[in-house]
Structure 1
Amino acid sequence: MENNQFSRRRFIGTGALAATGALLLSKSSFAQAVLSVADKPNSVVKGVQIGVITYSFRALPGTIPDLIQYCVDCNINAIELMGDAPEAYAGLPKREPGQSNADRNKAVADWRASVSMDKFKEIRKMFKDAGISIYARKPSALDPRNTDAEIVYAFNAGKALGASHVTVELPNEAHTKRLGDLATANKFKVAYHAHSQATPTLWDAALAQSEYNCINLDLGHYTAGTSSSPIPFIEKIMSV
């Protein structure tokens, strides 16, 4: 999760990053954190915010109330909200029988370009009332095939949900330029996630394109991709 003092460096740690902190805890301290649930979840352990991407619950029913309950059950109070649940709650039209992919994409784009943000604000309140903050949103509206209006919609929905940024898999440089320009115009951050293709210089082009282009670092993927510790990379980013 983004820390304000690091915003200039545009380094955004994720639930995947924060979750590694659990590996550093003693069994007793982690158990104490889990058992400390009162009315609302609290996954801050010794000052470290432990977060979860809702993709972790993908094998289970995925409505908004379901996701809230999973977080409460797991004592999680901060999430990266991924998946179709927010749009389903906001009224995204279902696919019509026999509808072609092109027609479906257009219908979705038209809906996204005109939908009110009220339902997304309702979702934010539902999570907040349960003691859960949405620090990031990973939508399915940031791909090269998506229209500019859809991308701006993704930013606006992210803001309405209370997120400080949206996340997306790192695309090619032409698309990070496009996303970065739109992010700059809308003053909302885009954080790019990498898998095992990660290298210490992988994000350089995107970061140079816009101050609103950021790094969404997954420690496991970075280590797998580079066969090295991520600590020097983190130290480098933090010193910029």
Structure 2
Amino acid sequence: MKKIVLSSVLAALVLSACGGGGGSDGDKAANNATVPPPADIDIDARGIYNGTNSNNDTVSGVVLDNGTYYFVYVNQAENRIGLVQGTATASHGVFSSSDATDFLASSSLAMHGSIAANYVPHSNLNGTFASVANGNTSFTMAYSTPYEPPLSLSVIAGTYTGLGATFRGKETVTFVISADGQVRGSGPSGCSFAGNLKVYDARNVYGTAITFDDKCPNAGQTFTGIVSVNGNALIAAALLPERVEAFVVAASK
């Protein structure tokens, strides 16, 4: 979140300003993406969450079964979008993460820090993201029941429009999901991307791999992560290997 959201829980384009990167980076991303090891996570802490933070950002996020979380924050009025991502432990109402990274995508900033929060199963997740660089950012999020059961790809198929960004820049993008799980998108800059979705662990969360075309500053690079759809709202959050850069989208039908 910008002082940086959690400063909780899925694609861009970015396009207009995107810069740098080449085919070799893309190959590395495609071949070496890793899955974080399982964490000590209370099953009742998993889910999709929505809320706000102390920077007046809207926050939407996902906590997966292995403790990995993706929290996308966006502020349309200030043209700001970013992602807080990491792995957490959760037990007896206490949610904790020591490897939280806040990717303020459009500003090429990655702030490392920690999260200390409390949760009520299937109700809420409230806490603070703390970083040496930007101090504390508090957040409050409510559990969203669409995490269970899963939605079919045909249900979430459609065209979503919103803000997307990487470290290279940001712009308005379209994010199109087809009934067979194919993904494509583009922005006014002419940059486009494509990929696919796969159902993640029978939940309303989908694994994704998104690759940028040769007209993009991120040409040839593949970002892997998740997409989540809650009603008409979509978030996408994906990373390059080693968590060196993020691709973030917050859009709606």
Q: Which interval holds the TM-score relative to the shorter structure?
A: under 0.3
TM-score when normalising by structure 1: 0.25
> What is the TM-score when the length of structure 2 is the normalising length?
0.24
Q: Which has the larger helix fraction?
A: 1
**Structure of higher RCO (CA pairs closer than 8 Å, 6+ residues apart):** 2
Larger Rg: 1
